[in-house]
Structure 1
Amino acid sequence: MGIEQKVAIITGASQGIGAALVQGFRDRNYRVVATARSIKPSGDDDVLAVPGDIADRATAERVVSQAVARFGRVDTLVNNAGIFVAKPFTQYTAEDYAAVMGTNVAGFFNITQLAIAEMEKQGSGHIVQITTTLVDHANSNVPSVLASLSKGGLNAATKSLAIEYAKRGIRVNAVAPGVIRSPMHPVSTHAELSALHPVGHMGEMSDIVDAVLYLEGASFVTGEILHVDGGQSAGH
């Protein structure tokens, strides 16, 4: 394998958008380190599956160290792992808070810190967070304070990191989706969820993959929060 073959780490990679991202990067001839709580070994020699809870720093350490040991480098990190709990604010429990902040914030912090340390060695890299359009477009029908607290923090951190590392060859961006058609949304909810978007339908997982891969190739784009939300952030 030539040194030019890049390596992407993708969190929350066992299903849904994460699994689609793994395939999207493989289609670009990237080698991929895929991590999730219950991810199965891959039959593809260029995909390394590392099981573990991303909220645990030991998982992040294992993912990055195995990426370097197996593939020799880390070029891209996609922080896709996330928990969304929609409840009225006063009904959130301490367990809800710990789970959301653990995965969405600590999970981001741990692996991003370690990945950037590797990227600095080669003077290049790209990090993408998957956040949510609800940060910029709150909806009383979708109570989501913990999502806004955690993913809004990631949007802010995206811009801060982009500026901190701009002259070191490391770009940092985010994709803020609307509701994406995936196994987590029962068919019975599709009409209601589609109506949330000005375009009248939900997004597809391929829309998020396309957005991430656009950012991956957009060498002059950093600090960007790219809304892939069917127009929600623009208004209604």
Structure 2
Amino acid sequence: MKNTVALVVGGSSGMGKEAAKRLVAQGHTVMILGRSVAKLAQAKQDLTLETGGNIEAVSVNLYDKEAVEQFVTQLENEFRHIQYLINAAGFFKPVSFLEHTKEDYDLQLDINKAFFFITQAVSKNMQHHGGGSIVNIGSMWANQAVKATPSSAYSMQKAGLHALTKNLAIELAEYGIRVNAVAPAVVLSTIYKSFIAEDEIESSLQGFNDFHPIGRIGTTDNIADAIEFLLFEKASWITGTILNVDGGVMAGRN
């Protein structure tokens, strides 16, 4: 077992969980962070059965200021090297701009506040231990508006995360810390369960296949492949990159 820790914020489901599986399989101790104790327990069980590795599950509500502050303090006192960080948590629910409430806005932008200070604490750990690698999960919606899925606050959140990625890449490079992001388009994931029944997500998303020039929606494996590449040594000369993993959507439309 490697004497390093990988932290996956939002590691109990979807893209975060798939990325966590890759890290565990490579021998890293992986700390998965999520809100639901039940989902975390299930994810830990799944990952242990699949990989036989070491998984630590931590329940933190990113919308709870005190809970985030307590977790940041925990990170500041972490003696192990947190070598990898993936910021994967997210919430997606289309709401038209004219109908957006303060609560809708806070559900998006409060995530970035939590990311900001968790990432700051992890970066200090990385600085102390000689470096590390961070990957944020951004979004196509940060770059491209889609009328069928009005997402103004979500797009602001992801655009902010893209901007944070570039700023941290510049500021932290001298400490051996690389910071990149992936920007997925439509991916088969539980992130859509806020407005689609979980057992209907796969069938409902098939209507977006032709939206992507490659002809299909993405999978969590597709995103985890890109995250894995950016995290490790094959991407050692890459930092500040927002990698579109989107089936060709940002290149153009069919």
**TM-score, normalised relative to structure 2:** 0.84
Q: Tell me if the contact between 2:183 and 2:245 (Cα under 8 Å) persists in the aligned partners.
A: yes
Q: Does 1:221 align with 2:253?
A: no
Residue 232 of structure 1 corresponds to 249
One-letter code aligned to 1:235: G
Deviation for aligned residue 1:126: 1.1
Q: Does 1:88 align with 2:105?
A: no
Q: Tell me if the contact between 1:67 and 1:73 (Cα under 8 Å) persists in the aligned partners.
A: no
Residue 13 of structure 1 corresponds to 11
Residue 197 of structure 2 corresponds to none
Q: Does 1:133 align with 2:140?
A: yes
Output the CA distance in 2 between the equivalents of 1:34 and 1:162. 24
CA RMSD for the aligned pairs? 2.1
Residue 35 of structure 1 corresponds to 33
Q: Does 1:101 align with 2:109?
A: yes
1:52-201 equivalences in 2 (<5 Å) = 52-63=60-71, 72-103=80-111, 105-185=112-192, 186-201=201-216
* SS of residue in 1 equivalent to 2:81: coil
Aligned pair in 2 of structure 1 residues 228, 180: CA closer, same or farther (>3 Å)?
same
Aligned pair in 2 of structure 1 residues 87, 212: CA closer, same or farther (>3 Å)?
same
Aligned pair in 2 of structure 1 residues 93, 231: CA closer, same or farther (>3 Å)?
same
> What count of residue pairs does the alignment treat as equivalent?
233
Deviation for aligned residue 1:69: 6.7
Unpaired segments of 5 or more residues in structure 2? 193-200
* SS of residue in 2 equivalent to 1:200: coil
Aligned pair in 2 of structure 1 residues 69, 163: CA closer, same or farther (>3 Å)?
closer
Q: Tell me if the contact between 1:137 and 1:232 (Cα under 8 Å) persists in the aligned partners.
A: no
**TM-score, normalised relative to structure 1:** 0.90
Unpaired segments of 5 or more residues in structure 1? none
* 1:112-138 Cα deviation digits (max 9, x unpaired): 111111111012011111010121222
* 1:53-75 Cα deviation digits (max 9, x unpaired): 12335444554665687771211
* SS of residue in 2 equivalent to 1:195: helix
Output the CA distance in 2 between the equivalents of 1:6 and 1:171. 16
Which structure has the highest helix share of the two?
Answer: 2
One-letter code aligned to 2:218: G
One-letter code aligned to 2:248: G
Deviation for aligned residue 1:188: 3.3
Q: Tell me if the contact between 1:33 and 1:67 (Cα under 8 Å) persists in the aligned partners.
A: no
Q: Tell me if the contact between 2:3 and 2:80 (Cα under 8 Å) persists in the aligned partners.
A: no
One-letter code aligned to 1:86: P
- Aligned with residue 209 of structure 1, among 220, 224, 244: 224
The worse-fitting range, judged by mean Cα deviation, of 19-28 and 218-227 is 19-28
Which segments of structure 1 move beyond 3 Å, counting only runs of 4 or more? Answer: 39-45, 55-71
* SS of residue in 2 equivalent to 1:75: strand
Deviation for aligned residue 1:190: 2.2
Q: Tell me if the contact between 1:78 and 1:130 (Cα under 8 Å) persists in the aligned partners.
A: yes
Output the CA distance in 1 between the equivalents of 2:71 and 2:226. 24
